[in-house]
Structure 1
Amino acid sequence: MARKIDPWHISRRIGRFTGDRRVIALLLFAALFVAGRAWLAEHPQHDPWAPLDLDDPPGWATPRKLQAMRSDPGQCREVLGRSDIAFTSLEPAGEGACARPDRLRLGDYPLSPPPPPMTCAVAAGLELWQRNTLEPLAQDLFGSTIARVEHLGVYSCRRLYGRSDGPYSEHATGNAIDIAGFVLEDGTRISVLGDWAGDGDKARFLRAARDGACSAFATTLSPDYNAAHADHFHLDMDARWSAVCR
């Protein structure tokens, strides 16, 4: 007579042996892996292997991807193109510590004076800052959009703080920009020098703009850093990441 199989008896035996537990663990791992890959596919901003697209919201992997662009101008230009950002590549310039092999000019960014030559990484940081911080802030606090971002320059072949020795500034290679203020479409002007110390919407705008820049640039310095930055934000794409955010 054939022995009757008891399903309940079999189910109670599953997991008693090492082999059973290994199979179950592998199945669970495989399910989690598949689910994780599917989630990353829907959220590429968190996927370290997905190409950077500046149209995506910032995510866990964004700083590392931005840092990688610092040493790979070709990859950076691919990101700008993929993100539909207009720019013009420029010939290398300078020599020695002030050599600028990576130079481009943004096509329609609202910088005033008009966009100067800069590294691709700085251009990408400016685009991220405008899309994810400046425009939402202007709309939220003032119900307007950004008309101009006023800057004090990008390139300056000099050492840090104008000293005669020591490390060169990121400005020496066009890898930094100093921002002095903002003008909105409704005519509102927001000045780092004049409005940082206030407590109204302009001061709130500037502090939130500074905080947002810390997610888009390797270094962000504001009037909170020292007196030398009382009238501007210093933003650069140094090879380090988030070493200074003040």
Structure 2
Amino acid sequence: MSFSYLRHAVSCTAISLALAGCSIGGLMTSFSVDTSDKNSQVVTRSEVARTQPAADSSKTPQPDASRLAADEPPPPTIEQLIAETETSAGVPIDSYLGFSSAEDSKDVTAIAAQEARTAERQVDGAPDPGIDPIQTASLLPHVQPGATGQGGMSAPKQNRIPGLMPLAERQCRSELNRMGVTFTEVEAIANGSQCGIEYPVKLQSLPGDIAVSPNVTVNCDTALAFAQWVQNDVAPAARVRYLTGLKSIQTMGGYSCRRVNNGTNSRTMSEHSKGNAIDVGGFTLNTGKKIDISRKGLFAFREKGLLKSVRASGCDYFNTVLGPGYPKHGDHFHFDLKQRSSGKSYCN
């Protein structure tokens, strides 16, 4: 009994000492003293990252604004940009506008002559006529109506502007005048979507004062080819065989809105519908002798020789030549400038 009381007392004492130790430890923890330096400043990593670039940039020397302004070249002017563009393109601006140097010199000469005549009239007391707006506007370039564009497609036609004419048309008329061809301008012909001439001319006489009887209306290219052919081949051939010149050429057709062979078994529009063809029925010499286009007798050597020469030489100026022996052409020659995809001519 005494031993059990003693063990019980020891157990109680141990428990009391353990509780006392816990109380003292907790008390010491609650009364711990902060010994850190209160004057030191705590700096975080993010604050260092924010302040570092500013410190670095402050050490970098800044360039002098006045020195940069002196070294940097000034921006180019609009004149310099235009000059650089023309040089890099390699094409003068007149080429884009449709002018040529020869055309410019002719225009300058014509204007100078006109001014001289005007000055003479003013000296004589005649009133100053002023500027002719039509003649002045004719010096301007213009896109040729119906010109072929990219991909072989026909470019859209522009409305005809009074007084304005494409460069090619002006050059053609200039050549006709140089050759001594007499012609008159005709108002534009428009007859549906398949017939018409944008800038037609009416032929009256050819070089050498050879009359065109009756006058015939065609486009300028056809008129020029016809005049060159007569001047270079037909008239010389007549002089060689008959020792005389030509007085007139009988025409049988120019512009006509119709189909090939007057629509007989054909749906194709004739070149006459574009003023691109001309028909010849005969020739009259200065002696009054008339030579018609028909099959000649066995002993008509000079007439047959002339007509054979005329027919053959026409193939050098026209893309199509038809005559006696070809259907519907027993009494006339047909000449036209039809453009074929093959680029070949058709002479029959």
Q: TM-score, normalised by structure 2?
A: 0.47
Within 1, Cα distance between the matches of 2:187 and 2:298?
Answer: 41
Q: For the Cα contact (< 8 Å) 2:214–2:251, is it kept in 1?
A: no
**SS at 1:148 equivalent:** strand
**SS at 2:205 equivalent:** coil
- Choose which of 57, 81, 105 in structure 1 pairs with 2:202: 105
Q: For the Cα contact (< 8 Å) 2:196–2:275, is it kept in 1?
A: no
Pair 1:204-2:301 in alignment: no
Q: For the Cα contact (< 8 Å) 1:196–1:202, is it kept in 2?
A: no
2:3 corresponds to which residue? none
Q: TM-score, normalised by structure 1?
A: 0.65
- Choose which of 148, 152, 168 in structure 1 pairs with 2:252: 152
1:7 corresponds to which residue? none
Within 1, Cα distance between the matches of 2:278 and 2:331?
Answer: 13
1:87 corresponds to which residue? 183
- Choose which of 144, 163, 184 in structure 1 pairs with 2:285: 184
Rg: which structure is higher?
A: 2
Segments of structure 1 that go 5 or more residues without pairing to the other structure are 1-50, 52-69
The 3 A distance-change label for structure 1 pair 143 and 165 is closer
Which string of whole-angstrom CA distances, capped at 9 and with x for unpartnered residues, describes residues 132-176 of structure 1? 111111110000110111111112211112227522001112211
- Compute the displacement of 1:94 (Å): 2.1
**SS at 2:312 equivalent:** helix
The 3 A distance-change label for structure 1 pair 144 and 84 is closer
Within 1, Cα distance between the matches of 2:180 and 2:233?
Answer: 19
Within 1, Cα distance between the matches of 2:298 and 2:196?
Answer: 37
- Choose which of 173, 178, 190 in structure 2 pairs with 1:77: 173
Within 1, Cα distance between the matches of 2:194 and 2:270?
Answer: 10
1:170 corresponds to which residue? 271
Q: For the Cα contact (< 8 Å) 2:322–2:329, is it kept in 1?
A: yes
Q: For the Cα contact (< 8 Å) 1:219–1:242, is it kept in 2?
A: no
Code of the residue aligned with 1:245 in structure 2: it is C
Q: For the Cα contact (< 8 Å) 2:282–2:293, is it kept in 1?
A: yes
1:43 corresponds to which residue? none
**SS at 1:195 equivalent:** coil
The 3 A distance-change label for structure 1 pair 221 and 116 is same
Which string of whole-angstrom CA distances, capped at 9 and with x for unpartnered residues, describes residues 70-100 of structure 1? 9643332233234343332222012221121
- Compute the displacement of 1:115 (Å): 1.8
How many residues matched?
Answer: 180
- Calculate percent identity across the aligned residue pairs: 29
1:14 corresponds to which residue? none
Q: For the Cα contact (< 8 Å) 2:183–2:202, is it kept in 1?
A: yes
**SS at 2:216 equivalent:** coil
1:132 corresponds to which residue? 232
User: How does 1:116-131 map onto structure 2 within 5 Å?
Assistant: 116-131=216-231
The 3 A distance-change label for structure 1 pair 183 and 83 is closer
1:215 corresponds to which residue? 316
**Greater relative contact order: 1 or 2 (C-alpha under 8 angstroms, separation 6 or more)?**
1
Q: For the Cα contact (< 8 Å) 1:145–1:184, is it kept in 2?
A: yes
The 3 A distance-change label for structure 1 pair 167 and 75 is farther
- Compute the displacement of 1:180 (Å): 0.9
- Range moving further from structure 2, 171-180 or 197-206: 197-206
Which string of whole-angstrom CA distances, capped at 9 and with x for unpartnered residues, describes residues 90-113 of structure 1? 220122211211301234233453
2:105 corresponds to which residue? none
Q: For the Cα contact (< 8 Å) 1:217–1:242, is it kept in 2?
A: no
Q: For the Cα contact (< 8 Å) 2:315–2:345, is it kept in 1?
A: no
Within 1, Cα distance between the matches of 2:174 and 2:261?
Answer: 34
Within 2, Cα distance between the matches of 1:129 and 1:85?
Answer: 13
Within 1, Cα distance between the matches of 2:181 and 2:271?
Answer: 23
- Compute the displacement of 1:177 (Å): 1.0
- Compute the displacement of 1:242 (Å): 4.7
Code of the residue aligned with 2:186 in structure 1: it is L
